């Protein structure tokens, strides 16, 4: 069973259009879709925005629905200047930029008995890179930082860039990274850029959410095609 999650309805809908939905299950104030894509068994959901919602959904996908890997698709704000609206990025690792226990001498993002960075699965990242190469799609790899804030300020963005060496910002990846690390499940994070995370980002986000969501969803489907091919070979 492969778990596929997004944060928002707009991000999940273009994926749902491409799979065969077999069952819809309402659970924990959310809807989970049991589906097939070719011969792959899938469970899909959008979590709602933010780290707590994302952690809850990731846990349910794994613990209740038996997901053996988690693939995330969605949109993000750009940090690196070579990332333009619509560009794709996969995370090497994710972190929580809003965790602050620095007064106790810990580095930003660190929680005792946990860690700052949660690594994404190398095998899944390699599949993504193969897909990008085959299709001639530009795909960046980098750290993705998450927090329960929509970032729309150059100053805050620069702080996150400097502190975590992050390439993009969103609101869920660090939470899913923590859950999948805790439960020992491979995690893949894909995002298409929706805004610059600077002043005016809110306006861009509203304009490009749908288009960027589709770009991410289409790439995710190509990943599934590659996973099917690899299983068959
Ligand atoms: N306009 C939406 C709220 C969007 S919140 C509404 O009214 O419902 C932004 C979502 O996109 C989050 O899920 C987050 O993961 C991602 N995101 C895109 N750009 C972002 C940015 N600049 N800062 C933080 N998250 C961003």
The band of 231, judged by pLDDT with boundaries at 50, 70 and 90, is confident
C-alpha angle with apex 127: 174 to 178, nearest 5 degrees?
A: 15
Q: Which two tokens stand for residue 133?
A: 């190469």
- Ligand 1: which of 78, 199, 205, 208 to mutate, most ligand atoms within 8 Å of CB? 205
- Ligand 1: which of 77, 144, 191 to mutate, most ligand atoms within 8 Å of CB? 77
Whole-number CA gyration radius for the chain: 17
| CB-based contacts of 58, cutoff 8 Å, min separation 6 | 3, 5, 47, 70, 175, 176, 179, 180
Task: Please name which of 80, 69, 75, 68 lies closest in space to residue 120, comparing C-alpha atoms.
Answer: 69
- The pLDDT tens digits for 111-123 are 999 999 999 999 9
Which protein residues are within 6 Å of ligand 1, measured from CB?
Answer: 7-8, 49, 74-77, 150-151, 169-172, 194-195, 197, 201, 205
| Structural domains present in the chain | 2-232 (3.40.50.1580)
State the catalytic residues: 11, 195
The band of 233, judged by pLDDT with boundaries at 50, 70 and 90, is low
> Max CA-CA distance within the chain?
53
Cα separation, 2 vs 15, in Å, equals 13
Q: pTM, whole model, 2 decimals?
A: 0.97
Shortest-distance Cα residue to atom 25 of ligand 1: 170
Q: Which atom of ligand 1 is nearest to the CA of 149?
A: 24
- The pLDDT tens digits for 146-202 are 999 999 999 999 999 999 999 999 999 999 999 999 999 999 999 999 999 999 999
């Amino acid at each position: 069973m492969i778990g596929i999650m997004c944060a928002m309805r707009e991000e999940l809908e273009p994926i749902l259009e491409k799979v065969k939905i077999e069952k819809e299950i309402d659970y924990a104030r959310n809807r989970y879709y049991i589906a097939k894509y070719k011969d792959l068994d899938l469970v899909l959901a959008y979590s709602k925005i933010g780290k707590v919602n994302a952690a809850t959904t990731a846990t349910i996908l794994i613990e209740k629905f038996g997901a053996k890997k988690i693939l995330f698709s969605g949109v993000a704000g750009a940090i690196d200047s070579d990332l333009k609206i619509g560009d794709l990025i996969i995370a090497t690792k994710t972190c929580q930029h809003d965790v602050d226990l620095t007064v106790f001498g810990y580095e930003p993002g660190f929680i005792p008995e946990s860690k700052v960075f949660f690594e994404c699965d190398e095998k899944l990242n390699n599949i993504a890179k193969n897909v990008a190469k085959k299709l001639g799609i530009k795909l960046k790899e980098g750290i993705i930082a998450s927090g329960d804030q929509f970032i729309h300020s150059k100053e805050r963005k620069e702080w996150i860039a400097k502190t975590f060496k992050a390439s993009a910002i969103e609101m869920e990846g660090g939470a899913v990274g923590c859950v999948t690390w805790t439960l020992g499940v491979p995690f893949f994070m894909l995002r298409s850029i929706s805004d610059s995370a600077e002043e005016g980002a809110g306006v861009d986000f509203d304009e490009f959410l749908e288009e960027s969501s589709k770009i991410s969803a289409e790439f995710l489907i190509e990943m599934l095609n590659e996973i099917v091919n690899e299983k068959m070979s």
